[in-house]
Amino acid sequence: MLSEVIATRYVTPLREGGSLPGIVEADDLGTYVMKFTGAGQGRKTLVAEVICGRLAQRLGLRVPRLVQMQLDPVIGLGEPDQEVQELLKASGGLNLGMDYLPGSIGFDPLAYQVDPVEAGRVVWFDALINNVDRSWRNPNMLVWHGDLWLIDHGATMIWHHNWPTAAAAAAKPYNASDHVLAPVGPDIAAAAAALAPLVTEELLTEVAADVPDEWLVDEPGFDSTDALRRAYVEALLPRAATIHERISLEAEVKAPAGPPGWLTDHLPEWPHKTHKKKSDSE
């Protein structure tokens, strides 16, 4: 179980984040980035943050410490921004907190070198959780005290949005050609050899147990929160064993598509059929 803290002061919103996370202080005197249950992305984003964040930590990848944060929306009453007010009002109860890394900067591939071994571990892990949100446009990595830290695992495990098709979705390959670390030449084989054996049923069960019940209740098709936790284990376990064989790092070369139909449909066929002159047939 994640340790629990109580939010005591809303400091400021992090406007770069689409879900409008905020910097929040807590009763343990810690400062956290808080991700809200009331955000439009929904509580599954928080489930993904916990499962993937805890899994990464257990595999030795750097992810800021996660906590569950109790929020009394009253702490937002003095907040002048209407959007923030509404988010806090909609998020009473348990939310997710993540240690705030003060002075960290967003990862920039031109300014920070990652060696192929570390890159391989990150790409392999992202393939396992099917993370589509670590591209050069949006790297979702921070550099802090000279080290690389992974953040933002909300857009992962696409299969948990449609459980009846989860097994088939989790068996699919991972296209890493857009991954921010693809150009580094990630050593996927070394990462798989080191990390895949660590992803055991026991480890996944422990990681799934860290998700608060409140974010799992009433999922259609599941009798209990433990049955739902089990579904996460069953999706990730087989994927860990074989995903390294299905990671593509090359951009797909697509055949040129030709002009769109709306442009060409009304045009006569090209080359135009030559009409015989009347005089020819005579």
Ligand X SMILES: Nc1ncnc2c1ncn2[C@@H]1O[C@H](COP(=O)(O)OP(=O)(O)OP(=O)(O)O)[C@@H](O)[C@H]1O
Instruction: Kindly list the residues in this chain that would bind ligand X in the complex (CB under 6 A).
Output: 14, 16-19, 21, 33, 64, 98-101, 104, 106, 138, 140, 142, 151-152, 154
Which residue number places its CB atom closest to ligand X? 17
Residue linked to tokens 């809303």? 10
Q: Are strands 31-35 and 4-13 parallel, antiparallel or unpaired?
A: unpaired
Residue linked to tokens 């895949």? 196
Rounded CA-CA distance 240/52 in Å is 13
Scanning 64-72, 135-143, 171-179, 216-224 for contacts with Mg ion by CB under 5 A, the matching segment is 135-143
Scanning 62-70, 107-115, 121-129, 139-147 for contacts with Mg ion by CB under 5 A, the matching segment is 139-147
Scanning 33-41, 59-67, 132-140, 269-277 for contacts with Mg ion by CB under 5 A, the matching segment is 132-140
- Decide whether 16 or 250 has the Cβ nearer to ligand X: 16
- Decide whether 40 or 238 has the Cβ nearer to ligand X: 40
Taking Cα atoms as reference points, which of 20, 16, 13, 15 lies closest to residue 39?
20
Is residue 126 near Mg ion by the rule CB under 5 A? Answer: no
Backbone angles phi, psi at 176, to 5 degrees: -100, 15
Backbone angles phi, psi at 189, to 5 degrees: -65, -45
Least separation in angstroms between CB 33 and ligand X: 4
What is the CB-side half-sphere exposure of residue 138 using CA atoms within 13 A? Answer: 10
Least separation in angstroms between CB 140 and Mg ion: 5
